[in-house]
Structure 1
């Protein structure tokens, strides 16, 4: 977030202005301040629940954020006649988290509709944007496949991210990024009854309650475990919790339990809380919201934790249980090998084949 501010439409005074913040995979942040100061509003802007009225927010295109509301049971109150297992399968059955679809940043605005009516000249042809079909890596960024109104998918055009944003379609870009990020998380673990039951078990909910009992009959602590299991199913990078002491103690992960569950989470954590003892023990960085400002104190935990080692997998499973072979990392070519590879690509182009500069040559 850079120089971000937010003002409610019904008010003249901004809730906060000039907020410049960052969160990383190693962050442990406490967001504090008096009631009504704007803590929850700040976090909603951070997570994409709400759009800022000034400044800019940026997140990595593949970032996955999990959010647990202050009233944790809000997440499941419309699904009490489902078992925990059925609820998680329902929530992710569309290939991403259904709760993410409710975010303001995912809803079409008047500006989006106006952008669709703009005419863009591509290769001398006047066209209007219909939707984005897919994306692919382009050096250090991404480019997106644009389908034009009244045209078929075979006439789609690949355009760089910045070009599409400049055309007024940042929301479409962010929406496709969110779908791809969710897909990557869900590919790591098939959405099956057995896998969901195992995941709920890791959160301390036995199979008897995870798969064979409706949520209406669960205790408060068991329901909290369901909420936490559901929001972490797609393996988020950042976990955001609003007043977690209201619900974590019910399942033994709050102040009474030493906050162990928060400490063990492998990604970044942002906590909104009035419980100073709890946050002081867990969070070296503090965001204090009040008086229309956000003050940052403490030491940001950015790149200070031990290095994470990534192991290249030879195969993974998608959400349907299909096994997919994974290509290993390409070795860096010597100058002589790179020259030979370029010569081979040029020869293939001369034969009329489709070749990209980043394409590896066959052995």
Structure 2
């Protein structure tokens, strides 16, 4: 039930949005230009936050996000080789790009939280840093260091308590760092990176011996995707991949996605690409979300929404193309089940319409 409105905007970009993803998700996000698709994706990945509604992510979740303007990921590193870029990004044991983004987005709120004075064991203290995390029943607790005190005075505080204290974004940063470490259980060597980039179609000649500025557009995109996938994410989010990949590369990406064991969310106008890969569609229009297909919100992944069998599609200019609805023919087993359900409803005194008998 999330609403979102950018500061200074005269209208809400998203209204009462509810959705859910898992490792099994294969989602196509469609809708006209300006409908709120990119805003929805930014909420999903944590790039922006809403003050209305609830957004929950597993503390150990790793998301790989490739933006619509894919080259912005590497524009500050054009004089590095692809191999050097990945080494720079992950050499601390964390994803530096993700950490820098979080620091930019959360700086003001984190600063306010750090300036607060708390009474701990009868003494006034100011938080210096959150330096560790450990399991606590079904959640976590975090090790807090205090200004002017040694490490022996560090305190373990529960997640819920820290959130009450105003450290929600700070513990999200700690969670992201811990999640990244879990995905980096392989050597960050030139040879290993070379092998990894070869798997996304970037040959060793370019991966190790060419500067990024000298790569073609397609090669740069392969680098961006390869770098995002280095820490073995649970979920891959692609914003308009058909804008920056040629047909051959799209085919290779489609094959890789089919074999990928995590969740996939794709913002796209390409009907052929989405239909080949996605079992669920999120249609965004005028700030509202209409899901169809295999929907994890309704019934914990067991329900198929049949409200509209043929989805309206949207072309590259944002024009809605009306689809012709097809009436699905039910199997004998489904017909018997429907008949049994109608009989039980009649026994309970519920009204059953005659046209239901035609289903």
TM-score bucket of the superposed structures, by smaller chain: 0.7 to 0.9
Is 1:218 matched with 2:215? yes
Structure 2 residue aligned with 1:178: 176
Determine whether 1:284 maps to 2:279.
yes
Q: Does 1:267 align with 2:262?
A: yes
Provide the rounded CA distance (Å) in 2 between the counterparts of 1:241 and 1:111. 29
**Bigger Cα displacement from structure 2, 34-43 vs 197-206:** 197-206
Deviations 1:242-270 (A, max 9, x none): 001122336x342x558212222220000
Question: For residue 233 of structure 1, what is the aligned residue in structure 2?
Answer: 230
Distance (whole Å) between structure 2 residues aligned to residue 235 and residue 290 of structure 1: 33
1:139-177 CA distances to partner (integer Å, 9 max, x unpaired)? 221110011222121100111111111111111111111
Confirm or deny: 8 A CA contact 1:45 1:51 kept in the other structure: yes
Cα separation, partners in 2 of 1:150 and 1:292, compared to 1, 3 Å: same
Structure 2 CA distance for aligned equivalents of residues 75 and 132 of structure 1: 28
CA distance in 2, matches of 1:121, 1:163: 13
Check conservation: 1:132, 1:145, Cα contact below 8 A. Answer: yes
What is the aligned partner in structure 2 of residue 169 from structure 1?
Answer: 167
In 2, the alpha carbon distance for the partners of 1:36 and 1:4 equals 18
Residues 209 and 19 of structure 1, relative CA distance in 2, 3 Å threshold: same
Distance in 1 of aligned mates of 2:219 and 2:25:
28
Describe the SS at the equivalent of 2:295.
coil
Give the secondary-structure state (helix, strand or coil) at the position aligned to 1:55: coil
Q: Is contact 1:105–1:171 with CA below 8 Å preserved after alignment?
A: no
Which whole-Å CA distance do the structure 2 matches of 1:33 and 1:123 have between them? 55
- The answer for unaligned runs of 5 or more in structure 2 is 303-359
Secondary structure at 2:183 match in 1? helix
Runs in 1 of length 4+ with deviation above 4 angstroms?
301-304
In structure 2, what is the Cα distance between the partners aligned to 1:213 and 1:110?
Answer: 39
Distance 1:173 1:74 in 2: 27
1:321: which partner in 2? Answer: none
Deviations 1:83-134 (A, max 9, x none): 1111111111222222212435764454433333333222222222221110
TM-score w.r.t. length of structure 1: 0.78
Q: Secondary structure at the match of 2:44?
A: helix
**Which residue number in structure 1 is paired with residue 24 of structure 2?**
26
Matches within 5 A, 1:311-322: none
Please tell me whether residue 205 in structure 1 is matched to residue 202 in structure 2. yes
CA RMSD of aligned residues (A): 1.9
Instruction: Find the residue that maps to 2:209 and give its secondary structure.
Output: coil
Where does residue 78 of structure 2 map in the other structure? 80
Change (3 A) 1:258 1:192: closer
2:102–2:173 Cα contact (<8 Å) kept: no
In the alignment, structure 1 segments of 5+ residues that lack a partner are: 305-363
CA separation of 1:213 and 1:112: change in aligned 2, threshold 3 A = closer
In the alignment, what sits opposite 1:341? none
What is residue 3 of structure 2 aligned with on the other side?
A: 5
TM-score, normalising length from structure 2? 0.78
1:123 to 103, 121, 124: 121
Counterpart-to-counterpart distance in 2, 1:31 and 1:249: 20
Contact map agreement 1:50 1:104 (CA 8 A) in 2:
no
Q: Deviations over 1:33-85 (max 9, x none)?
A: 10011101110111011122422211111110000011222222222221111
2:57 to 56, 59, 83: 59
Which residue of structure 2 aligns with residue 92 of structure 1?
90
Quick one: distance in 2 between partners of 1:183 and 1:154? Answer: 25
